[in-house]
Amino acid sequence: MNPRPRRLKLLRFLPNGWLATSGPAVAGRSLYLTFDDGPHPGFTPALLDLLAEHDAKASFFLVGREVERHGGLARRIAAEGHTLGNHSYSHPLFESLTLAQQMDEIARTERLLHGIDGRARHAFRPPRGVLTLPMLARLVSRRQRIDYWSYDSLDYSRRPVPELLETIRRYPPRDGDIILMHDDSEHSLQLLRELLPAWKAQGFVLRALPLAH
């Protein structure tokens, strides 16, 4: 298991204004936590409590239908200083959709997120990281930023937490890494209970990705 996906070698050639594979350069050492697939009433509240305990900010790439079901939780995420991102409406297999269907998935969630934080535009992260060329071209033409990641926690693999921790410690994240996690299971919470104190002790500040313009 390697937390650094091979596809990043190709994606890094794209301008960072089109597709972000690292966080913005700031003074000091920073990590950018991101969570996909929520909000989830069984796991997101405890995760928010843990982030608050460690004064950590993050970015949550939300699924539109889950925002409809758990709007209060989406509002809590925004109210506590985390940024909202677009992770499609239903988390489908994007490669099986037409471009029009893909864009409808994004647009439906944009409307929901606007109702939460009032912002007209949010960064988009494609489900499962699937990025088709027509969709990339359309999003670039609309100046809608795509936020990818540079470090995969592998929390979705459901491997035992001690095994995942051993991998993360063997291949530790670096300054500016965008860390992929999920808030629809207990795994991210268990990992971060161990990792947040360690990362802070190493001098990292946990930041949210910048807002989309």
Exposure pattern of 165-180 as b/e (b: 16+ CB <10 Å)? Answer: bebbeeeebeebbbbb
Neighbour count for residue 6 (Cβ, 10 Å)? 7
- Has 36 been annotated as catalytic? yes
The answer to whether the CB of 57 falls within 8 A of the CB of 51 is yes
Question: For residue 119, what are the contacts with CB-CB under 8 A and spacing of at least 6?
Answer: 84, 113, 211, 212
Radius of gyration of the chain (CA): 16
The answer to whether the CB of 88 falls within 8 A of the CB of 94 is yes
- The single residue of 36, 152, 177, 184 carrying the catalytic annotation is 36
The answer to whether the CB of 85 falls within 8 A of the CB of 92 is no
What are the phi and psi torsion angles at 31 (to 5°)?
Answer: -125, 145
Pairing of strands 146-147, 83-86: unpaired
Burial category of 162 from C-beta neighbours within 10 Å (exposed 0-12, middle 13-18, buried 19 and up)? exposed
The answer to whether the CB of 32 falls within 8 A of the CB of 178 is yes
- The single residue of 40, 82, 87, 182 carrying the catalytic annotation is 182
Q: How far apart are the first and last CA of the chain?
A: 35
Active-site positions read 36, 182
